[in-house]
Amino acid sequence: MINRELKNLFNDAKKECQPDMDWANDTRGLLLSQVRNEMPKQNIPFLMKFADHLVPANLAFKPVAVFCLIAGLLLVSSFGSVGAAQNTLPGDTLYPVKITAENIKYNLTLSQEGKAKVAMDMVEKRASELKVIVADQENGEREYKIVQASKKIKDSLNKVKDKVQIISEKPDADLVGVVEEIDKKLAMVGEEINEAVTMAEEVLEEIEDGEDLEDKVADELAQVAEEVEEASSVIMAALEDTENTKTLKHLNTKTLKQNSVEGITTLTSSEQETEEVEEVEIQETEIYKAPIKDILGIEEEEVEIEEFKVNIGN
Amino acid sequence: MNKIKEKFLISRIRKGDSEAFGSVYDEYIKKVYRFIFFRVPKEEIAQDLSHEVFVKLLNYLKNNSNEIISLMGLIYKICRTEIAGYYSSKQAVNDQAFELSEEIDSRIDKSFRKEDVLDKAVDKKIRSETIMQYIKKINNKEYQEIIILRFIEDMSFVQISEVMNKKINTSRSSLSRALKELKKIIEQKNDK
């Protein structure tokens, strides 16, 4: 995009354009003394000071350091340091530690259904935090914290929706239980959020001269409620899919039994590829009722299958 | 500096940890200085404004407990505000910003005369001053910024979009236009 000459000029300019080191050092001293004078030093947890040295400058290019960081954080959590952060809220010092630990747990969970469960736990925790923040009348920064907590809930809900959609695409009927469990938890979260929204109406009334903030708080809470509804729809759709999968599996199992022919068994599900087999005779007398409409998209009907010749080919 | 480290440092600064602020200063002082230097006429002005940037950063961290998504974005935003504030003040008029003095003009001419035998170090300094002056001659402030961020600070488009609060594709288009503008200025100078 640029020629070499121009590139060299830029490189030279970068090397030449350096601040005077004496000035830089003097300025540094002035600024640090300003920090010491104007900001009373609070107790900084050892973990927080140490973490600065643990985190490498560029995580992307130091996988070993990343692994050590993750292992170190897990080790720390086993000694209760992360436990100390469990009751923190948005804006608290150790809150990022709490979120980081949850994200690590989420990332280290291998299965999609496991991730969906962990994401749902995160939504529950964020909803509880929101309720606590809204109820805390003495907190002067309540409005900002409500906005932050709402954003975190939306992030976690997006994770739940993504994972549930992935799960619903798997032809595994055992996942119905997982999705149902998430659905129950989401219903409880929805109730908690409704309670928080009701309490937040008082917060909105208290905001003076802050129309923008009032709008922002109201918008964020409304968006959270919408996200909960959307997640609920995704879960409902997933439950329908997984129910169909369960039925399809049941149908295939039954059909296998019915169609067993000497030496050859084949699936007659429309979703399975058929193999070229010899012409076979099948004798059926049972009345078989299948939810054909849901699976094959045709009208539901009762079918009495009698003796007939079936040519199962391409 | 990655996001996790930034978050830890910001939390510590808010707790009054001067060492943490020192780490942020060490990380960003050269970038801030260069960014401002290419936008103002004198080194002394760049120094004053760079100092102000860190003072404003400290005050922001002290008085706001909002979550900071990007410390780099915040710092460059403060830089742009300081530069805009400088130019809207009377001081900029007195400093006669963006006017090349005769001395600098002659030095630029010399850098394009191949027959002149100049010491390499001096030549390099003149060439770097040349490109600095050309960047300062670009009328569009956004173009100036994006050239500095891309070619002086070697930022990726992802980082540029974070700093300038634009989409990545928009940043690419802006850079393309900025380079055309810069090349036009260079050609105009060569034609003279």
Q: In chain A, which residue's Cα lies nearest the Cα of B152?
A: A14
- Does the distance separating the beta carbons of A23 and B29 come in below 8 Å? no
Query: What SS3 class is residue B103?
Result: helix
What mean pLDDT is predicted for residues B52-75? Answer: 90
Q: How confident is the model at residue B96 (pLDDT cuts 50, 70, 90)?
A: low
Q: Which of A135-139, A209-213, A257-261 has the lowest mean pLDDT?
A: A257-261
Which stretches of chain B are DSSP H helices? 3-14, 18-37, 43-63, 71-88, 90-95, 102-111, 120-137, 141-147, 157-164, 168-191
β partners of residue A287: A304
- Please compute, for residue A145, the number of CA atoms within 13 A of its CA located in the half-sphere on the CB side: 25
Q: How many CB pairs under 8 A join A and B?
A: 141
Best B2, B3, B5 residue to mutate vs chain A (most A CBs within 10 Å): B5
Q: What is the pLDDT of residue B50?
A: 96
DSSP-derived secondary structure letter, B39: T
Strands (E) in chain A, as ranges, are 280-282, 287-289, 302-304, 308-310
Q: Is B11 exposed, middle or buried (0-12, 13-18, 19+ CB in 10 A)?
A: buried
Nearest to B8 among A35, A43, A52 (CB): A52
- Reported as a single tens digit per residue, the pLDDT across A12-44 is 888 878 898 999 999 999 999 998 888 777 766
A107 Cβ under 8 Å from any chain B Cβ: no
- Does the distance separating the beta carbons of A1 and B15 come in below 8 Å? no
DSSP-derived secondary structure letter, A309: E
Nearest to B8 among A2, A27, A55 (CB): A55
Residue A303 dihedral angles phi and psi, to the nearest 5°: -125, 125
- Does the distance separating the beta carbons of A28 and B26 come in below 8 Å? yes
Q: In chain A, which residue's Cα lies nearest the Cα of B127?
A: A9
Residue with tokens 């009054």: B16
Going by their DSSP bridges, the two strands A280-282 and A287-289 should be labelled as unpaired
User: In 3D, which of A153, A155, A130 has the Cα closest to residue A143?
Assistant: A130
Best B12, B43, B123 residue to mutate vs chain A (most A CBs within 10 Å): B12
Instruction: Specify whether the CB–CB gap between A117 and A191 falls below 8 A.
Output: no
Residue with tokens 């805390």: A136
Cα B154 from Cα B147, distance rounded (Å)? 10
Instruction: Specify whether the CB–CB gap between B119 and B65 falls below 8 A.
Output: no
CB < 8 Å from B in window 138-167 of A: 141, 144, 148
- Does the distance separating the beta carbons of A58 and B127 come in below 8 Å? no
- Does the distance separating the beta carbons of B151 and A2 come in below 8 Å? yes
Cα B152 from Cα B32, distance rounded (Å)? 12
- Regarding an ipTM greater than 0.90, the answer is no
β partners of residue A280: A310
- Does the distance separating the beta carbons of A51 and B8 come in below 8 Å? yes
pTM value? Answer: 0.47
- Reported as a single tens digit per residue, the pLDDT across B100-122 is 444 444 444 444 444 344 455 56
Nearest to A17 among B7, B17, B128 (CB): B128
Q: How confident is the model at residue A245 (pLDDT cuts 50, 70, 90)?
A: low
Q: In chain A, which residue's Cα lies nearest the Cα of B4?
A: A55
User: In 3D, which of A168, A162, A135 has the Cα closest to residue A149?
Assistant: A135
Q: How confident is the model at residue A275 (pLDDT cuts 50, 70, 90)?
A: very low
- Does the distance separating the beta carbons of A7 and B25 come in below 8 Å? no
Contacts 24+ apart (CB under 8 A), A251-258: A251/A290, A251/A295, A254/A288, A258/A282, A258/A284, A258/A286
What mean pLDDT is predicted for residues A266-279? Answer: 42
Please tell me which of A57-61, A142-146, B7-11 the model is most confident about, judged by mean pLDDT: B7-11
Nearest chain A Cα distance for residue B143, angstroms? 15
Cα A294 from Cα A41, distance rounded (Å)? 66
